[in-house]
Chains A and B, each alone.
Chain A
Amino acid sequence: MDAHPASSATAPAPPAVDPHFREHLRRYLFVFYALLFGTLITVGASYIPWGNREINIGVALFIAIGKASLVACYFMHLISERKMIYGIMAFTAVFFIGLMFLTIWSFADFPWHTVTH
C-alpha cells in the first residue's frame, strides 16, 4: 500500500508546479473563446434558411459536437488521460451509440406519426 500525505502529522509541501503550466492556461483561454464563438455561431446558423430543417439540425449538432469535444478534450483533460479512463469512455460510447441506433431503428416498428398530441 502506498503511503500518502494525509497520514503525515506535519503540513506537507504544496504540489510541485509544472513549468509548462502557463502554456496550459493559454490553451484553456483559447478553448473558452472558441466556446463563446461557437455559441454565437450556433444561434446565428439557426436563423439561416438552409432550405430544410434537417440541414439546420445537422449544422447545430455539428457545432455542438465540436464544442463538446473541446470541453471534453481540454477542460476535462481527455486528450491526455490514462488508458483506464479511455476504456470507461469507450464502453460508454458504445452503449450510447447503441441507444441512439435503437431509437432510430424503432421508427420502423410503429406506424408513422403514432405519437400525437
Chain B
Amino acid sequence: MEIPYTAQPRRDTGLYNAKVGIWLFLASEVMLFGALFSAYILLRVGAEDGLWPHGWLNIPVGTCNTLVLITSSITTVMAWASCKMNQFGRFKFFHACTLCLALTFVGIKSYEYHDKFTHYEIALNDGKFADGHFIENKLQLVNGAYTGYALLKGHIVADRKELFNLREHPARHEELRIEGTQVKSLENYGPRHHAYLAIYFTLTGLHALHVIGGAIVIGFLWGPGSRLWQTDPERFTNRIEISGLFWHFVDLVWIFLFPVLYLL
C-alpha cells in the first residue's frame, strides 16, 4: 500500500505530509532554541557588572561565517527553484554549492573552537593575570605547584576585569615568558571558564549539529537520493523543499546567534 500525500497535497489542508511534519518539527526547534536563549538572558542579566565578556569572539570571522550561511540559503532556494523549472543540472550545481558552504561553515566554527580551547587565562601569584595563547608550554603541576616555564603570546593585566571588555581594552600580543613558580592556576577558554562560554558552546554547538545534520541530508539528496528525480520528480522537488525549510531555519537561528554572541 502506498503512503498517501507524499507528493500531492491533501484536499482539506492543501499540504503534503512532509510539509506539515517539517513545520511541526521546526515549531519544536523554536522552543528548543528559545529555552537556550532564555538561559542566555538569565545568565547575562544576572552577571556582575563588568564580568560579562565583550569582544571575546572574533567579529570578522563570525561575520564571514554569517555571510557563508546566508549564501548557502540562497543556493538552497535556487536548488529548489531549479527543480521547479525542470533544470536538474542547475539543481545539482546549487546543491553542491550549499554542501560546500555548509562544510565551510563547520570548518570556520572548528577554527573558532580550537582558538578558544588553546587560549589560556593564567592567574599569577602576584595577583596579576596573564592571558593569551601558548607558543610553548613546559608547565607541569607537581604536588600542587607549577614547575617549568611557558612562552605565551598575549598580555598581562593587573585587574581581571580588563580581560572582560576587549573592545575597550584590546588584547596585546606580546611574547611573554611565564615561570612555573609565578603560576597560581591556569584554565583554557573552554565551557567551564565562564558562563558566557558555557552558553556560547551550548548554543553554537547545538547549531553546528543542526548544520552537520542538514549537510548530511543535503548530501544524500544531492547524491544517491537524487535518483528519485528520474521516477518521481514532484516528490523529489518536495524533498528538496523540506530540506530547504530546515536549512533556512538553521540560517534563521544563526541570524540571532551572531549579534547576541559576537556583537552585544
Q: Which of A's residues lie within 8 Å of B, judged by CB?
A: 1-7, 11-12, 14-15, 17-18, 21, 24-25, 28-29, 31-32, 35-36, 39-40, 42-43, 46, 53, 56-57, 60-61, 63-64, 67-68, 71-72, 75-76, 82, 84-85, 88-89, 91-92, 95-96, 99-100, 102-104, 106-107, 113-117
Contacts and interface: CB of A to CB of B under 8 A. Distances in A.
Interface in B26-44: 27, 30-31, 34-35, 37-38, 41-43
Contacts of B35: 99
B159 interface: no
A15 B46 contact: no
24 contacts: A2-B11, A3-B8, A5-B232, A7-B2, A11-B230, A12-B232, A14-B234, A25-B78, A28-B74, A36-B67, A39-B67, A42-B258, A43-B59, A43-B63, A46-B263, A53-B264, A60-B264, A76-B248, A82-B14, A84-B20, A88-B23, A115-B43, A115-B46, A115-B47
A116 B38 contact: no
Contacts of B11: 2
B159 to A, nearest CB: 15
A61 B195 CA distance: 22
Interface of B: 2, 4-8, 10-11, 13-15, 19-20, 23-24, 27, 30-31, 34-35, 37-38, 41-43, 45-48, 51, 59, 63, 66-67, 70-71, 73-74, 76-78, 81, 83-86, 194-195, 230-235, 237, 244-245, 248-249, 251-252, 255-256, 258-260, 263-264
